[in-house]
Amino acid sequence: MPEEKEKWEIPKLTAENHDSWFRRNKVKLRGKRVFYVCERSLEEHCRIATAEDLSDAVKELDITDNRTVKARINVDERDKYLEDEATAIDLLFRSLSDDD
């Protein structure tokens, strides 16, 4: 079994394997169901569209860096996004060398 696991590990990123590295990591992140954090921002993912969507887990937060725009977001969705983002970053860092 350890040999099988080694076969599926993604090699460290190099100039020669960058295309393959990106494709394999995309598949890996999709398999872990965290790739959406690469496609959508936190604000897009957590924004509440209509008043019917409001629940007890809603809070008004300033989530922008340079603007003072307030948005209503679902706090549970925000927490899930942040957790998944950390998972995605961890998985990507595992296949980078110390120099990257």
- Can you give the pLDDT of all 100 residues of the chain as single tens digits? 455 554 567 888 888 988 999 999 999 999 999 999 999 998 888 877 655 555 545 555 555 666 555 667 788 999 999 999 999 999 999 888 877 6
Give the count of beta carbons closer than 10 Å to the beta carbon of residue 51. 7
> What is this structure's pTM?
0.66
Residues 99/14, Cβ–Cβ less than 8 Å: no
**The predicted structure's pLDDT at residue 49:** 60
Instruction: Answer left, alpha or beta for residue 33, where phi above 0 means left and psi between -120 and 50 means alpha.
Output: left
